[in-house]
Amino acid sequence: MNMETAIEIPKAEAVVGRDLVRTQDELSAWANALEIETADDHRVASERLREVKKLRRAIIDAFEPHLERMREIKRQADAARRAIEAERDKALGPIGRIEAVVGDRIVAWEQEQERRRREELARLVEERRKREEEERLRLAEQAKLSGADEGTVNAILDGSVPVDVPDVPAAPETPAPPRVDGIRTRVYYRAQIDPAMAKACAVELIKRDLWPREKLLKAVQPVADAAARSMREAAGVIPGLTVVKEVKKELGR
């Protein structure tokens, strides 16, 4: 069968024939004029209705070969489509493997760069923490020598009193890698709180209007996480709070 040949739609009169059309016209005229007043009228109407049913069946049967032909064309078209799709998938096989190999290596490289960035940020945060600890020890010792009471000294040591920390060099900016089609990037921020600095962290969150004072005794973590998400790396200036940035790369297949 030539699948490229245009499908011709048969006309009703050509399919059922003139005799059936003529019978249909006669029955239509009779039905429009029908009036049932007696039992004999009822009997005649019932008999002619059986003729109408036969006419319906004859019309359905007349169209069936044409419908079956269309069903066969559809079966052949579906089979041809599946065969073409199979050939297409076969041709795309090497492309998919190439995309997977290259994409996986791109993702691995970007994840390694992100790991190095996080390590450097953690190192800088730790350096700042050490400098702050040293500064607090120095200020506490100075306060003792100046005759300060124990409460003042303890406030300096436990982080209740903010101190100026010598600047720590910022992490070097790493240029973002060019966007690659098919690779999705998801960035997550969360807070990591130093237990020893939790009080100082809470005080700083209150000062920044990031945490209501009445919630001071409740969990710090949810608010710190929210601060990390809103301030991102800038939240790392809060004492005792380290912003953990997680970058996940996903390769779309």
Identity of residue 100: A
CB 111, CB 247: distance < 8 Å: yes
Q: Tens of pLDDT along 95-143?
A: 888 878 887 888 788 778 878 877 887 788 788 778 888 888 888 888 8
Residue 188: helix, strand or coil by DSSP?
A: strand
Q: Which range, 47-61, 146-160, 203-217, 221-235, has the best average confidence (pLDDT)?
A: 47-61
Task: Categorize the per-residue pLDDT at 75 as very low, low, confident or very high, splitting at 50, 70 and 90.
Answer: very high
CA-based nearest residue to 59, from 17, 9, 8, 10: 17
Helix (H) or strand (E) holding 36: none
Q: Tens of pLDDT along 28-64?
A: 899 899 899 899 989 989 998 898 898 889 889 988 9
Check residue 131 and give its pLDDT: 84
How many other CB atoms are there within 10 angstroms of residue 171's CB atom?
17
CA-based nearest residue to 27, from 3, 4, 45: 45
